[in-house]
Amino acid sequence: MKSKLKSLLSPSTLSSLQLFQLTRYSGFVVIGISFAKLGIPKTAIGHFESFLWLMGLFSFFWIAGLMNSMLAIYPGHTPEGKKKLLFATFCLILMLSVIAGIVQLFVGGSMIGLAYLLFNNASYVIEYIFFLNDKRRPLLIYGASMALLQIILCAGPAYIYGDVQWSIYGLLGVAVVKFIYIAYLLRSHTTTIYERKRVSELFILSLPLMLSFFVNGSAEYIDGAVVKHFFTLADFSVFRYGSREFPLFTIVAATLSMSMIPRVAGHLSDGLAAIKRESLRYMHFFFPLAIVLILCGHWLFTVFFSAQFEQSGRIFAALMLLTIPRLLFPQTILTALKENRIILYCAIFEMFINIVASIVLARYYGLIGVAYGTLVAFVAEKVLMAAVLYIKHEIIFTKYVAIVPFAIYSIILCISYILSLYF
C-alpha cells in the first residue's frame, strides 16, 4: 500500500510530462466552462476558439516534428552538446514562429497572433528542459501555475467586460510570462551561443517528421476548416467544445503505442503477443468508461457548460466512438518494422477520406456529420494498415488484437451511442 501511495505521489518523469499535458488541457477546459457559465455569446466564444484554432494550425506540426527530432538525438550528445542542442531548438522555434506569424497575417490573422506565436511557441522548450533533466516537481508546479494564471487572465476579463477580446490579450500575457521564464532557464540549462550549422542540421533532420505530423495531426484542423466554411462562428464554438476528446484516452493510447515499438522490433512474435495482452487490459478500462461518457455526454455538457452547448455533448459522444480505432495498434507494428513510408501513405489516405467524408456528411447531418467524417477516416486508416500487415508481412489481425472482447465491447459501445441519440 505504501509503495502504491508513493508511486502516486512521486510520478515517473514520463508520467510527470503526461500530467503536465493534462494540466494544460484542463486549463482550456476550465476557461471554456467559465465562458459558458458567464453567459458569453456563442459567437464571441467562437471568436476566441477561432484564434486558438488558427494559432494551432500554423504551429502544431512543426513544433511536434522539431521536438521529436530533438528528443531522438539528445541522448547521443555530450553534456555540453546537449546544452547547445536545446539552445539551437529554441532559436529554430523563434525563426519558424516568425515565419508562421507572418503567413497567418495573410489568411485573416493579426499582429496579436504573430506575437502570440512568437512568445508562446518558444515556451515549449521549458517543459522539455525539465523533462530531460528529470525535474519532475518543477515541471508539475510550472504546469499548474501557468494553467491557473491562464484561467485568471482569460476568465477574469470575460467576467469584467462580458467579452473575450481581452481574454485573447490574457493569452498573450501568459505567453509573455512564459517567454520571460524560458529566457531565464536558458541561461542556466543551455549554452547560449548561436550556431548556424547546428540549427540548419536540426531543421533538415526535422523536416520529414514535420510533414508526417502535419498529415497525421490534420484531422482537428480539417474539421475546423469544414465547420468554419459551412457553418457560423457560433456553431464553430459548439463544435470546438464537443470535439475535445477525453485527453486520458489519447495520451495513454499514444504512450502504449510508443512503449511497444522496441518490443516488436526486438522480437516480432513476443511483441505482437505483448500488444494483444496490453491492449486487452486497456480495453477493460477504456471501453466501459467510454460507454458511460457516451450515455451521459449531452447531460454533462449541459451541467458543466450550459443548455446552449447540449449539441457539443452530442458531438463529444460521437467522437467517443474513436475509442474503437484508438485501441488498435497496427501503426505500432508498422513503425517497428520500419515501414515509415507506408505509415505516411496511410496518413495521407486518412486525410483525404476525412476531407471528403466530413464535407459530405456535414451536408446531411450538420455539425455532427463532421464528427462522423473523422470517425470514418480513422477507421479507414486502421483497416488499411491492418490489410498492409496481412498482405505484406502475413501478420493476421488476431495476432495483435483480442478479437472476441474487442468485438463485444465495440458492439456495446455502438449500441450505447445509438441509445444516446434518443435520450
Q: Render 95-130 in DSSP notation, one character per residue.
A: HHHHHHHHHHHTTT--HHHHHHHHHHHHTHHHHHHH
Predicted pLDDT of residue 88: 93
Asked if 275 and 332 count as a contact pair (C-beta separation under 8 A), the reply is yes
Q: How confident is the model at residue 6 (pLDDT cuts 50, 70, 90)?
A: very low
Higher confidence at residue 249 or residue 31? 31
Q: How confident is the model at residue 258 (pLDDT cuts 50, 70, 90)?
A: low
Predicted pLDDT of residue 65: 80
Predicted pLDDT of residue 161: 85
Predicted pLDDT of residue 247: 56
Assign 217 to helix, strand or coil.
coil
In tens, the pLDDT along 34-52 reads 998 888 888 888 899 899 9
- The C-alpha cell of 5 is what? 501511495
In tens, the pLDDT along 325-346 reads 989 989 888 877 878 778 888 8
In tens, the pLDDT along 345-368 reads 888 898 899 999 999 999 999 889
Q: How confident is the model at residue 2 (pLDDT cuts 50, 70, 90)?
A: very low
Higher confidence at residue 17 or residue 52? 52
In tens, the pLDDT along 389-400 reads 999 999 998 999
In tens, the pLDDT along 90-100 reads 999 999 999 99
Q: What is the average pLDDT score of the chain?
A: 86
Q: Residue 183: is its pLDDT beyond 50?
A: yes
Here the contacts of 352-359 (C-beta below 8 Å, separation 24 or greater) are: 353/377, 353/380, 353/381, 354/218, 354/219, 354/222, 354/223, 355/222, 355/226, 358/222, 358/223, 358/226, 359/226, 359/230
Q: Residue 147: is its pLDDT beyond 90?
A: yes
Residues 6+ apart with CB under 8 A from 365: 372
Q: Residue 246: is its pLDDT beyond 60?
A: no
Share of the chain above pLDDT 70, in %: 93
Q: Per-residue pLDDT averaged across 54-81, rounded?
A: 84
Whole-number Å distance between alpha carbons of 143 and 344: 33
Q: Residue 408: is its pLDDT beyond 90?
A: yes
Share of the chain above pLDDT 90, in %: 37
- The C-alpha cell of 107 is what? 489568411
Predicted pLDDT of residue 262: 67
Higher confidence at residue 391 or residue 3? 391
Higher confidence at residue 180 or residue 224? 180
In tens, the pLDDT along 268-320 reads 888 899 889 988 988 998 899 999 999 887 788 887 777 788 888 888 899 89
Output DSSP code: residue 232.
-
Q: How confident is the model at residue 70 (pLDDT cuts 50, 70, 90)?
A: confident
pTM of the model: 0.78
Q: Residue 135: is its pLDDT beyond 70?
A: yes
Q: Residue 239: is its pLDDT beyond 60?
A: yes
Predicted pLDDT of residue 324: 93
- The C-alpha cell of 314 is what? 452530442
Whole-number Å distance between alpha carbons of 347 and 357: 15
Predicted pLDDT of residue 13: 60
Q: How confident is the model at residue 14 (pLDDT cuts 50, 70, 90)?
A: low
Q: How confident is the model at residue 255 (pLDDT cuts 50, 70, 90)?
A: low
Highest mean pLDDT among 199-213, 253-267, 364-378: 364-378
Domains of the chain, by residue range, sit at 12-215, 222-420
- The C-alpha cell of 179 is what? 517567454
Indicate the burial class of 284 (C-beta count within 10 angstroms; 0-12, 13-18, 19 or more).
exposed
Q: Using N-to-C axis directions, what is the helix angle for 165-189 and 79-105, rounded to 10°? A: 160
Q: Residue 3: is its pLDDT beyond 50?
A: no
Q: Residue 8: is its pLDDT beyond 60?
A: no
